[in-house]
Amino acid sequence: MSSDSNASDFELGAMILAAGRGERLRPLTSVRAKPACPIGNWPLIWYALRFVRRQGYEAVAVNLHHLSGSIRRALAPAQAWGLAVHAVEEPVLLGTGGGPRALCDRFGAGPLLLLNGKLLLGGDLQAARRRHLESGAAATLFVWPNLDPMRYTRLLWDESTNRLERFSFARERRPNGAEPEGWMFTGVQFLSPALLERLPAGAPSDLVTGLYVPLLREGALIRIEPFPGPWCEVSDPGAYLGAHQWLLDGRLGAHGPALTAGNCVAEEVSIDSSAELSRCTVGRRSVVRARARLERSVLWEDVEIGSGCELRDAIVTAGAQLPEGCRMERQIALAGPNGGLQFFPLDSGITRRGAG
- The domains found in the chain, sorted by start residue, are 2-234 (3.90.550.10), 244-354 (2.160.10.20)
Question: Is pLDDT above 60 for 176?
Answer: no
Q: How confident is the model at residue 152 (pLDDT cuts 50, 70, 90)?
A: confident
Residue 350's pLDDT is what? 41
The CA distance from 106 to 89, in Å, is: 15
- In whole angstroms, what is the distance from residue 155 CA to residue 164 CA? 7
- Confidence check: pLDDT of 180 > 80: no
Give percent of the chain above pLDDT 90: 78
pLDDT of residue 13: 93
Reduce the secondary structure of the chain to three states and give it as a string.
Answer: CEEEECCCCCCECEEEECCCCCHHHCCHHHCCCHHHCEECCEEHHHHHHHHHHHCCCCEEEEEECCCHHHHHHHHHHHHHHCCEEEEEECCCCCHHHHHHHCCHHHECCCCEEEEECCEEECCCCHHHHHHHHHHCCCEEEEEEECCCCCCCCEEEEECCCCEEEEEECHHHCCCCCCCCCCEEEEEEEEECHHHHHHCCCCCCCCHHHHHHHHHHHCCCCEEEEECCCCEEECCCHHHHHHHHHHHHCCCCHHHCCCCECCEEECCCCEECCCCEEECCEECCCCEECCCCEEECCEECCCCEECCCCEEECCEECCCCEECCCCEEECEEEEECHHHCEEEEECCCCCCCEECC
173/117: higher pLDDT: 117
Of 116-130, 306-320, 332-346, give the lowest mean pLDDT range.
Answer: 332-346
> Percent of the chain, pLDDT > 70?
91
pLDDT computed for residue 292 by the predictor: 98
Side-chain half-sphere CA neighbours of 354 within 13 A: 15
pLDDT single digits (tens) 12-51: 899 999 998 989 999 999 999 999 999 999 999 999 999 9
List pLDDT tens digits, range 251-281.
Answer: 998 899 999 889 999 999 999 999 999 999 9
What would the pLDDT profile of 191-236 be if each residue is shown by its tens digit? 999 999 999 999 999 999 999 999 999 999 999 999 999 999 998 9
Q: What is the pTM of this model?
A: 0.91
Band (pLDDT 50/70/90 cuts) for residue 146 is confident
Residue 355, pLDDT > 70, answer no
Mean pLDDT across the stretch 315-326? 96
Lowest model confidence (mean pLDDT) among 9-13, 125-129, 316-320, 352-356: 352-356
The chain-wide mean pLDDT, for the chain, equals 90
